[in-house]
Homo-oligomer: A and B are copies of this chain.
Amino acid sequence: VKTATRIEPLEEQVRQALKHENLENMRQTLVAEHPANVADIIDHLPEHERLAVFKVLPFDYASDVLSETGVEATREIIQQLQPVEASALLNRLSSDDLAEILGEDIPEQQQKLLAVMKPEMAERVRQMLAFPPRSAGRLMVQQFVAVRPEMRTADVLELLQTINPDIETITDLYMLDSAKRLLGVIGLRQVLQSPAERPLSEYAYMHQIAVAPETDQEDVARLVSQHDLFALPVVADDRRMLGIITVDDVIDVLVEESTEDVLRLGAVQGGATDETYFSTPIVRAVRRRVGWLLLLFVAGTITINVLSWFESILSQVVTLSFFIPLLIGTGGNTGAQTVSTMVRGIALNEVHAGDLFRVILREVGSGLLLGTVLSVFAFILALLLGNTLQLAIVVACSIIAICTWANTIGAVVPMLARRFNLDPALVSAPLISTLVDATGLAIYLSIAKVVLGL
């Protein structure tokens, strides 16, 4: 029984083989592995060792590996190969992998490589690259089993005996008219279970879901996942069939999108490439983070203003300032919890734009509950630390107010971003914490002013 391969020992073997220049041995070890694992190893190796490993691979196997490597490794390998070698490798890839490599990984070499590739392949890829990045048109493969309505079961079985080996899946057959418009879909199972003379048009399913090539890949993934599809047809406006998207590519989209969600939530930009942790140059990693950090830093300077407005209160009761980090920290934590919940609820389409009021009601409610629980602890803590009853009351009330406020902000900001179709990358836990920091301070010090009568 084989389970998920641990690639660490394999990587160690590769490093040893490189060190001792035992290349034949390395080749044998690697080709026994799945190309996806070899791609993982190449991604994880330091830059100068990647090509050396890639070059030992047999030609056929190398192209399979290349379709799985991360953007950095792919770029390096292709740049270091002769154009002739590179185009020979690329010619062997499927058109969706090619569109990804030429469109996203190495766009600067796109034209040069298309010029030296097989003309029909180049043409196919050019058509796909005409669609926007991250759209259905970029994900599809143009090869599928096309059948005509007048065909009978026996004709289909004959056709299947000689179909193009590049066709990825034969589970669904697509019935097209003479203008290549999609008429219906037939499952292979139905074909196998139908009498030899029965015409396909009698049993094709006519309401097959199809998407336009411009459809966002996230919508494609949602559709495939909701409807448990194995392949989704892509059609032009006139229902002319352009290609199909297979479920394995949808899985890649889901992984890519959830990487992006996690990074966005942490205020890191542009996570949806297939760069890996180590393959991203450090300067690029910094560039993805510095924008948000600076913006939040500038926004955070309001806290200085808030504190200086309340300077006289703070200087009268110095212990008030001791609770500041704890209170705004708790506000930030509460807001981070809410924003995680909301971002996920919105992504899964559980929360709709029209639910704003219902969401606010719910989050104000749970904020009050959470705040009340915490306030008991805060109250006791303040007294234990030897503060006055009045100060303990200030801290306890503030924590209720801040939790409720943080919960509301953490819910409203993502909902508004969705309602006004703003870039969802706007919404992150650090953004919410920063918003809560300044307002939380104002809440705390205002309560102090009232309760302590300053």
B354 touches A8 (CB 8 A): yes
Contact count band on A: 35 or more
Which residues of chain B are near A282, meaning CB under 8 Å? Answer: 362, 365-366, 369
Q: Which of A54-62, A119-127, A198-206, A317-325 faces chain B?
A: A317-325
Chain A residues numbered 375-409 whose CB sits less than 8 Å from any CB in chain B: 377-378, 381, 385
Given known A-B contacts A193-B161, A254-B254, A441-B325, A293 and B334 have beta carbons under 8 A apart: yes
Task: Report B-chain residues with C-beta under 8 Å of the C-beta of A258.
Answer: 254, 258, 261-262
User: What residues of chain B lie closer than 8 Å to A245, measured between beta carbons?
Assistant: none
Contact B377 A297 (CB under 8 A): yes
Q: Give 12 new A-B contacts, CB below 8 A, not counting A3-B211, A278-B362, A433-B433.
A: A4-B215, A160-B193, A258-B258, A259-B348, A276-B348, A277-B351, A282-B369, A286-B366, A293-B370, A297-B377, A301-B381, A315-B318
Residues of A within 8 A of B (CB): 1-4, 7-8, 34, 36-37, 40, 43-44, 157, 160-162, 169-171, 188-189, 192-193, 209-212, 215, 219, 222-230, 235, 237, 239, 247-248, 250-252, 254-255, 258-259, 261-263, 265-268, 271, 276-278, 282-283, 285-286, 289-290, 292-294, 296-298, 300-301, 303-304, 307-308, 311, 314-315, 318, 321-326, 328-330, 332-334, 336-345, 348-355, 358, 362, 365-366, 369-370, 373-374, 377-378, 381, 385, 428-430, 433-434, 437-438, 441
What 5 pairs between A and B have smallest CB-CB spacing?
A266-B340, A277-B345, A258-B258, A303-B325, A333-B430
